[in-house]
Amino acid sequence: MAVMSPQATVGPFLSPSRGDGLKKRSMASPSVGDKPPKTPGSETTVGRKRKGLSSQPSSTTTTPSSNKKRTRLSIGTPGKVTPLADIRQKEVERTFTEHEVSEVYKAIRKQTGSLGGNAAGGAIYGEITQASFQRVVDYMKEKCELSKTSRFLDVGSGLGKPNFHVSVDPGVQVSYGIELEELRWHLSLHNLRSVLSLDSQRNKPLSTVFTAGDITHAQTFEPFSHVYSFDVGFPPDVMDKMADMFNRSSAKYFA
């Protein structure tokens, strides 16, 4: 009678080699639904992403954006006015003065144009341009002490351009013009009315005066400090009379 051993059940212990192979296979390829074991430092916070230490910039590291921000902040403090340098301030003042002078000449051209002689057989006269007289003013300010405290006289003032010019640049204390021809004197008054209506001149003290008369009737140039005359065509006897008047006065400069 033969004895039959019972058939072994299917399992991991059929043989040592087969059981080890199944263990390795189950550990190497976990099922889809399995989750890796959690470690104490691997828990995540909902709605918040944690950054690693390597992704955070250190305090000593500088980036281009931070450099740009520092540069912008170093330009100036908000709400604090930085004064201009002396040279730059003079340039700005010069620009405003030139604009104001040009505005005055524009008003004169608008009212009287480029009127010349009236062909009435009277005195010979001419009108100086803005650029030409600006060179005269610059020279007198540099060499002849022409300033805001000066008292300026124009003999043969015509339409009044030199008087208007020095009333703005340098802004003399008194700008006085005397004209022999009555028609030209009336035109200068017409120009004065137009200049005074400019916005830049409304709040300024009135320093420009025009009169009609003959300069040879005066005895001296007092109280003027600077005498100017576009004396082309003046008769010799008038020039001699003006020289005597200048020598008897305290005026220091005759241009």
Q: How confident is the model at residue 121 (pLDDT cuts 50, 70, 90)?
A: very low
Residue 13 placed within a domain: no
Nearest to 255 by CA among 142, 114, 105, 130: 142
Looking at per-residue pLDDT, the higher value among 77 and 13 belongs to: 77
Contact, 179 vs 156, CB < 8 A? Answer: yes
Poorest-pLDDT segment among 56-70, 83-97, 214-228: 56-70
What's the pLDDT tens digit per position in 150-204? 999 999 999 999 999 999 999 999 999 999 999 999 999 999 999 999 998 888 8
Residue 168 placed within a domain: yes
Residue 229 placed within a domain: yes
Give pLDDT, residue 156: 93
Residue 10 placed within a domain: no
What residues make up the domain containing 210? 123-254
Give pLDDT, residue 94: 84
Total structural domains in the chain?
1
Residue 248 placed within a domain: yes
Residue 98 placed within a domain: no
The CATH number for 181's domain is: 3.40.50.150
Helix (H, G, I), strand (E, B) or coil at 145: coil
Indicate if the pLDDT at residue 123 is higher than 80.
no
Residue 188 placed within a domain: yes
Separation of alpha carbons 188 and 167, rounded Å: 14
Residue that is written with structure tokens 């005195």 in the block: 123
Average pLDDT over the chain reads 78
CA angle 195, 242, 206 (to 5 degrees): 20
Q: How confident is the model at residue 6 (pLDDT cuts 50, 70, 90)?
A: low
On whether the pTM is more than 0.85, the answer is no
Residue 218 placed within a domain: yes
